[in-house]
Amino acid sequence: MSATLAPVTAQGGDALPELTRDELVRYSRHLLLPEVGVEGQRKLKAARVLLVGAGGLGSPAALYLAAAGVGTLGIVDFDRVDVTNLHRQLLHGTHDVGRTKLASAIDRLRAVNPHVVVEPHELRLSAANALDLVGQYDLVVDGTDNFQTRYLVNDACVLTGRPNVYGSIFRFDGQVSVFCTADGPCYRCVYREPPPAGLVPTCSEGGVLGILPGIVGILQATEAIKLILGIGEPLIGRLNLVDSLGARQRSVKIRRDPTCPACGTRELQSLIDYDAFCGIGTPTAEAPVLEITPRELAERLDRRDDLLLLDVREPHEHAIARIPGARLIPLGTFAEAIDALDRGRDIVIHCRSGVRSANAVRQLQAAGVTRVWNLAGGILRWADDVDPTVARY
């Protein structure tokens, strides 16, 4: 399937921008390619690409799009550089820890290519601002790591008519596709509904091979350049699956769903509450999950209260950081262990951030256990509030 991106023109006019002498030299290896040439390089210079996220996927995509001479890169991010980012987010270095990712990205990209204009957007993308922001660019490269923002980006691209170069990663596997073109499917055609909240762990919970986002992000940058130049066969109507352990890639065909509310029936006419759509913070009829703060738990442990402290993370997480006295029961085996638990004791459950442990609390509540608490904020908050020697991961 051929590229469907409308021809890129200079802002405010029909003519493509000219290349300076320095640019002619810098991009000389591009210019030797018949598929690119001077006109193609001028298209790249005229292009405006929005990267959503300056993390694992956004890092390689931004670096290679800047190096290729894409004229304007908009970057949306509101996070700060953490040391745990550095094994995969190569926009940032050790000296950037604590800085905003946007500030770090601007410095790095200017060093890569001073001809590229970087437009920072230090904000949380939301239903209130996404249409205006996406509409300022020719296409979007989605480097997000949560379902609510993926659906938001998809719907904003459908409503504004902008291609969405999608990528996702988890542990050793990745996905890449081009959504929201004139003839191809959108993200909702493939994933109509999000999974239940907390069911699919994030990279911060499940881990990711540091090299994997480099592979997937570079594939995203490649797709963006193909769309801008109108060359090759973009991943429209195809989902590229990356298996880094097996050193394999394969593409599966995907089709536009005529019943898709976004690009099919077009019943989706405006952006929605994506937290609610993905079940984030949505009230339920279930019994409330009682919480205990890390400081409250520490006081009870110091008093040697008779309580059962359970850790529902995975064994490799328990090996990285642990609360003394916690018994490890991974969430995947938790249901099988419920009957053996001592119901005569107060039970406190923790995980990394509090999501998985809340799931375990609800399982106990469903089994009739009432004296059970979730550790608010998980072991991350424990490290912040009680024991700074515990590793944050």
Active site (catalytic) residues: 203, 351
Instruction: Answer yes or no: are the C-beta atoms of 307 and 346 closer than 8 Å.
Output: yes
Q: Coil, strand or helix: which one is 23?
A: helix
Q: Which two tokens stand for residue 267?
A: 């019943």
Cα gap 219→197, rounded to integer Å: 29
Residues 6+ positions from 203 with CB-CB distance below 8 Å: 56, 145, 169, 170
For strand 48-52 and strand 139-142, is the pairing parallel, antiparallel, or unpaired?
parallel
Instruction: Answer yes or no: are the C-beta atoms of 179 and 166 closer than 8 Å.
Output: yes
Instruction: Answer yes or no: are the C-beta atoms of 35 and 231 closer than 8 Å.
Output: yes
Cα gap 393→390, rounded to integer Å: 9
Q: Please, what sign has the CA dihedral across residues 47, 49, 54, 58?
A: negative
Q: Which two tokens stand for residue 216?
A: 């997937």
Cα gap 111→104, rounded to integer Å: 11
Single-letter residue type at 169: I
Q: Which two tokens stand for residue 120?
A: 């920072």
Q: Coil, strand or helix: which one is 140?
A: strand
Q: Quick one: 323 exposed, middle or buried, by C-beta within 10 A (0-12, 13-18, 19+)? A: buried
Q: Which two tokens stand for residue 26?
A: 């810098």
Single-letter residue type at 200: V
Query: CA–CA distance from 201 to each of 295, 296, 390 (Å)?
Result: 26, 27, 21
**Terminal alpha carbon distance of the chain:** 42
Quick one: how far is CA 270 from the chain centroid?
23
Q: In what order do the strands lie in the sheet with 139-142?
A: 117-121, 72-76, 48-52, 139-142, 164-170, 173-179, 238-243, 248-253
Q: Coil, strand or helix: which one is 286?
A: coil
Q: Which two tokens stand for residue 57?
A: 């996927």
